[in-house]
């Protein structure tokens, strides 16, 4: 059974990918310092798969602590690197924190990949590398334009660091450019746990609907799109997760064309913010309390993927549509509320 190291394994996409890897026959270990994630999702992984995943609570910015994990696990067949800060707005406020965290972590990891000859490396990249595209849908050949935020810049630099490294090592890499991951595992045992006020659309919708947020703001409805709001390519997190398993098998079976093949992970459908809200209202059966506010600086007007390469080369089949994305996101929000209520009651009982 090949052992895979998932960094950021306690996070949203990381936890869903660990489930998919285990279900598809891999054994998994995780490195996650839990600075922005919770070991709570490891319990969820165990409930779904029956497997207890070991998480090394290590800060990847600390080279010696990172190297110690490789020293202890010299049979790592592949790495999937998720661990990074990813809030666009925060990256504008704290650029140095983003460059230090996202790039030091990657460099330390790649030093270990080199020293311990790890054969396969899958990098979590993002459609933000395309900036504001002139032509949509975007393909993997679409021009890389100036990043709209330091977060996007760390993804562009991360791709550069990785591709330069694998050109001079025997490691083979894949760069997966996610569009907008949303939704939750159908079991309801894992999902997104945004820290503080959510920046992303779908958790903002579900937290408003459940009453955690008083009202949601649509950031602009005067764009040059069919209904004036931004267009994005929302993709279910489980479809994203399965693409990582397919990408690893693609490398293990030597089907790669270069040492750093790139794939867009999106559905190929553009959805506006207002259409996403409508889909949620149909699923939840409740009207969402939102207002239209000013545009958000750094927002791209419209972007969605041409995903033909991932579909043909990886054999990727998308299983979840927008309704399922909203249904699973809402089910997860309801589940967290239920748990919080139980926890509150328990606290109440024992105080």
77 or 301: CB nearest ligand WQD: 301
Rounded to the nearest whole angstrom, what is the least distance from the CB of residue 2 to ligand WQD in the complex? 26
Taking CB under 6 A as the rule, which mask of x and - marks residues 184-223 in contact with ligand WQD?
---------------xxx--x-----------xxxx----
The residue annotated as part of the active site, out of 56, 151, 290, 304, is 151
Q: What phi, psi does 319 have (nearest 5°)?
A: -100, -25
Rounded to the nearest whole angstrom, what is the least distance from the CB of residue 223 to ligand WQD in the complex? 9
Is 180 near ligand WQD (CB under 6 A)? yes
- Exactly one of 58, 118, 166, 273 binds ligand WQD (CB under 6 A); that residue is 273
Residues 284-303 that bind ligand WQD (CB under 6 A): 296, 299
Rounded to the nearest whole angstrom, what is the least distance from the CB of residue 201 to ligand WQD in the complex? 4
Query: DSSP alpha helices (H): ranges in the chain?
Result: 12-23, 40-49, 63-72, 88-93, 95-115, 150-167, 201-210, 237-252, 273-284, 308-313, 322-350
Residues paired with 123 in a beta bridge: 81, 175
- What is the pairing mode between strands 271-272 and 180-182? unpaired
- Exactly one of 17, 91, 126, 267 binds ligand WQD (CB under 6 A); that residue is 126
Residue nearest to ligand WQD (CB): 230
Instruction: Report how far apart, in Å, the C-alpha atoms of 86 and of each of 139, 195, 199, 201, 203 are.
Output: 22, 12, 10, 14, 15
Query: DSSP alpha helices (H): ranges in 168-211?
Result: 201-210
Cis peptide bond upstream of 308, omega within 30: no
- Exactly one of 128, 154, 245, 267 binds ligand WQD (CB under 6 A); that residue is 128
- Residue 84 to residue 340: CA distance in whole angstroms: 27
Rounded to the nearest whole angstrom, what is the least distance from the CB of residue 199 to ligand WQD in the complex? 5
Rounded to the nearest whole angstrom, what is the least distance from the CB of residue 252 to ligand WQD in the complex? 25
Q: Is the dihedral of CA 123, 127, 128, 130 positive or negative?
A: positive
Respond yes or no: is residue 151 known to be catalytic: yes
Is 178 near ligand WQD (CB under 6 A)? yes
CA-wise closest residue to 331 among 170, 180, 209: 209
Residues paired with 272 in a beta bridge: 231
Rounded to the nearest whole angstrom, what is the least distance from the CB of residue 277 to ligand WQD in the complex? 9
Per-residue three-class SS string for 55-101? EECCCCCCHHHHHHHHHHCCCEEEEEECCCCCCHHHHHHCHHHHHHH
Buried b / exposed e along 176-186 (16+ C-beta atoms within 10 A): bbbbbbbbbbb
237 or 314: CB nearest ligand WQD: 237
Residues paired with 126 in a beta bridge: 178
The two most distant CA atoms of the chain are separated, in Å, by 62
Is 171 near ligand WQD (CB under 6 A)? no
Rounded to the nearest whole angstrom, what is the least distance from the CB of residue 147 to ligand WQD in the complex? 10
- Exactly one of 36, 86, 172, 242 binds ligand WQD (CB under 6 A); that residue is 86
Is 236 near ligand WQD (CB under 6 A)? no
Is 157 near ligand WQD (CB under 6 A)? no
Rule CB under 6 A: which residues touch ligand WQD? 86, 88, 126, 128, 178, 180, 199-201, 204, 216-219, 230, 232, 273, 296, 299
Q: Which residues are catalytic?
A: 151
């Amino acid at each position: 059974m090949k052992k895979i190291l998932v960094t950021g394994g306690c996070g949203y996409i990381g936890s869903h990918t660990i489930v998919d890897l285990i279900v598809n026959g891999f054994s998994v270990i995780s490195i996650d310092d839990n600075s922005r994630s919770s070991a709570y999702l490891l319990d969820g992984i165990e409930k779904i798969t029956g497997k207890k995943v070991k998480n090394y609570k290590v800060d990847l910015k600390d080279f010696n602590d990172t190297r110690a994990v490789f020293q202890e696990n010299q049979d790592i067949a592949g790495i999937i690197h998720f661990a990074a800060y990813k809030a666009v707005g925060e990256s504008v406020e704290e650029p140095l924190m983003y460059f230090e965290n996202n790039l030091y972590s990657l460099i330390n990891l790649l030093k270990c990949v080199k020293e311990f000859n790890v054969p396969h490396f899958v990098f979590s990249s993002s459609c933000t590398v395309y900036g504001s595209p002139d032509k949509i849908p975007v393909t993997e050949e679409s021009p890389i334009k100036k990043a709209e935020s330091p977060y996007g810049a760390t993804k562009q630099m991360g791709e550069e660091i990785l591709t330069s490294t694998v050109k001079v090592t025997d490691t083979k890499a894949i760069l997966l450019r996610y569009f907008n991951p949303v939704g939750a595992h159908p079991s309801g045992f894992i999902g997104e746990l945004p820290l503080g006020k959510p920046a992303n659309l779908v958790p903002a919708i579900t937290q408003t609907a459940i009453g955690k947020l008083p009202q949601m703001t649509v950031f602009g409805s005067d764009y040059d799109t069919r209904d004036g709001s931004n267009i994005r390519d929302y993709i279910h997190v489980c479809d994203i997760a399965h693409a990582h398993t397919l990408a690893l098998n693609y490398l293990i079976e030597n089907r790669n064309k270069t040492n750093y093949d790139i794939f867009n992970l999106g559905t190929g459908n553009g959805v506006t913010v207002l259409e996403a809200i409508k889909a949620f209202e149909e699923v939840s059966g409740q009207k969402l309390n939102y207002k239209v506010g000013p545009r958000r600086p750094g927002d791209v007007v419209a972007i969605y993927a041409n995903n033909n390469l991932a579909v043909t080369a990886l054999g990727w089949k998308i299983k979840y549509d927008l309704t399922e994305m909203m249904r699973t996101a809402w089910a997860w929000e309801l589940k967290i509320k239920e748990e919080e209520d139980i926890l509150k009651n328990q606290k109440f009982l024992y105080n």
